[in-house]
Chain A
Amino acid sequence: MATTPTREVARRVFAGEFNDASYTFKESDDERAPVYLLLPTGERANRIFVVGTLMETEDVGDDSEYWQGQVIDPNGDRFYMYAGQYQPDAASMLRELEPPAYVSVVGKPRTYETDEGDVNVSIRPESITEVDAATRDRWVVETAERTLERIRRFQAETGDDGDGAAVDEYVAMATEQYDLPVENYRRQVVEALESLETEGVEGEAEAEAGD
């Protein structure tokens, strides 16, 4: 009996880290083997789950519809996603939704090289749904936690000075492929969480001012 391929987990990552990634790889020669994007904190991602504010939608297609969506995270960084005829559900959501709106997006990372030789990262959405603010806040905290876990493992593997030899396959790969200090991502985590707190404090301040 053939073993059922296990479903790939959807990683949680802020747009800042996601957009810094550029290196993709496969783990077998099989044509249908999953393609992974290597996150700078040392984890492979074949799928991601994002909740944020849909800021802009635009049909950028020439002959047929090809929708671009931009979703912003609490740090002001944007996820770019593209959906065409092969993602009809996601494409029709991008056609119909009125920005700004909170959306959940499940999708696959895609990379393409620009004429200048830069690698851009985007999402090919599997599904897009409109959600509420509580879901978005929950995602921010969850993504902060998952990112911190990756940073801690990265630091434990490489030593405090970042020069130690990493044992973890993907941490080792990240140190090899990227020259991106994980401190940047820790700062993004702190900023994202602080933005939630500030929102809360402002709310309270307004309530007090109203008294």
Chain B
Amino acid sequence: MTDLRTQATEIHEQFEDQLDVSVEDVEERLDTLVNEYKVPLSEARRSVVNTYLDEAGMDRDQLGGGGGGGNEQVQVADVDAPEEWVDITGKVVELWEATSDAVAQVGLLGDETGTIKFTKWSKSDLPALEEGTVYHLRNVVTDEYQGRFSVKLNRTTVIEEVDEDIEVGSDDVTVEGALVDIQSGSGLINRCPEDDCTRVLQNGRCSEHGEVEGEFDLRIKGVLDDGEDVHEVLFDREATENLTGITLEEAKEMAMDALDTSVVADEMRADVLGRYYRVTGPTFGRYVLVDDLETLSEPADPEAVLIKARSI
């Protein structure tokens, strides 16, 4: 696509709801200015946008993105620094329960490039966002906490509902390597049964609720190592069953027979340590949460490496 065509398409998108113009019309106007009157492309664009603004009876700041407003229109994956004023268009993927009265709404906003947490303060007095709806948010501020970015809505934020759907991109990462360690706290574990508390019990005690009757669960905290990097990976019950072939019921029986829960982790170590895996899933802190697991049982092809080795 030529530069002119790209620009024309962008301008067209800004006005297609208001004006009956085609991309070709826009491109022709740009072409006349740029190629016939030798106007720089940026000036040509400004001029064409102004023409259409007049025709539509709109103000410049009613435009989404590129046309004005002052902020950069960014995508979720572009957010890489705190305290920047940006415009962002995204779908409310999840709304979470606000943990404080100061927060009106909190949740996840997503676009094609991934998801990002957003926070809307109570004192900003903004309209409520709805799950599953796409919004164009102007004047939001980026923030960072422990390496994770978020956006915060504020008093000056303009919320516009956008009548389109966005296919929200995945934040998943894929890592592979040899499983070189299964860390303590893996295997058959006991979790606190209190509401909303899933802490793992140590000697029958929850660090929050004291001595409780635990609920059994399976998990593996493992380390995948490819000889260059190490990745900590977390298998939940389903992923652990999938990896080891040992179900929660079987694990409970094993522990019952041995009068010891640690036999479960031992058995799992013997089954999976020192083998190659590829896992895919979202990251949480320093862990990759395993959604998808592939055992790399096929030997790799030596031919390509051999050619390299001979050529040095």
Question: How many B residues, CB 8 Å from partner?
Answer: 33
Cα distance, A127 to B302, chains bound together (Å): 27
* Residue A77, interface by CB 8 Å: no
Query: Which residue of chain A lies nearest to B286 when distances are taken between CB atoms in the complex?
Result: A4
List A residues 117-163 near B (Cβ within 8 Å). Answer: 126-135, 137-146, 148, 151-152, 155
How many residues of A are counted as interface, with CB atoms below 8 angstroms from the partner's CB atoms?
47
Say yes or no: B298 contacts A144, CB within 8 Å.
no
A98 interface contact, C-beta 8 A: no
Given contacts A141-B305, A151-B312, A186-B309, is CB(A9)–CB(B299) below 8 Å? no
Judging by beta carbons under 8 Å apart, are A131 and B230 in contact? Answer: no
Using CB atoms, name the residue of chain B closest to A128: B274
Q: How close is B225's CB to chain A, nearest CB, in angstroms? A: 5
Decide yes or no whether B100 CB sits under 8 A from chain A: no
- Residues of the A chain whose Cβ atoms lie less than 8 Å from the Cβ of B308: 148
Q: Which of A57-65, A164-172, A189-197 is the contact stretch?
A: A189-197
A137 to B276, CA, bound (A): 11
Encoded as 1 (CB less than 8 Å from any B CB) or 0, chain A from 1 to 38 comes to: 00010111111100000000000000000000000000
Question: Which residues of the partner chain A approach B38 to less than 8 Å between Cβ atoms?
Answer: none
Tell me whether A9 and B309 are in contact in the complex, defined as CB-CB below 8 angstroms, given that A51-B274, A131-B274, A144-B302 are known contacts: no
| Chain B contacts for A4, CB-based, 8 A | 286
Closest B residue to A4 by beta carbon equals B286
Residue among B180, B226, B269 with most chain A CB within 10 A? B180
A148–B305 CB distance below 8 A: yes
Q: How far is it, in angstroms, between the C-alpha of A116 and the C-alpha of B79 when the chains are bound? A: 61
B83-118 residues with Cβ-Cβ distance < 8 A to A are none
CA distance A133 to B178 in the complex (A): 15
The answer to whether A10 and B299 touch across the interface, beta carbons within 8 angstroms, is: no
Q: Is the CB of B227 within 8 A of A10?
A: yes
CB of B276 within 8 A of CB of A138, answer yes
Contact call B230/A7, Cβ cutoff below 8 A: yes
CA distance in complex: A45, B270 (Å): 25
Given contacts A134-B299, A148-B305, A196-B302, contact A155 B274 (CB under 8 A): no
Residues of A within 8 A of B312 (CB): 148, 151-152, 155, 186
Mask, B210-251, CB within 8 Å of A = 1, is 000000000000010111111010000000000000000000
Q: How far is the CB of B148 from chain A (nearest CB, A)?
A: 16
Binary A-proximity of B273-311 (CB < 8 A = 1, otherwise 0)? 111100000000010000000001111111101101110
Q: Please provide the chain B residues from 182 to 222 with a CB less than 8 Å away from any CB of chain A in the complex.
A: none
Which A residues form the contact surface with B (CB < 8 A)?
4, 6-12, 47, 49, 51, 89, 103-106, 126-135, 137-146, 148, 151-152, 155, 186, 189-190, 193-194, 196-197
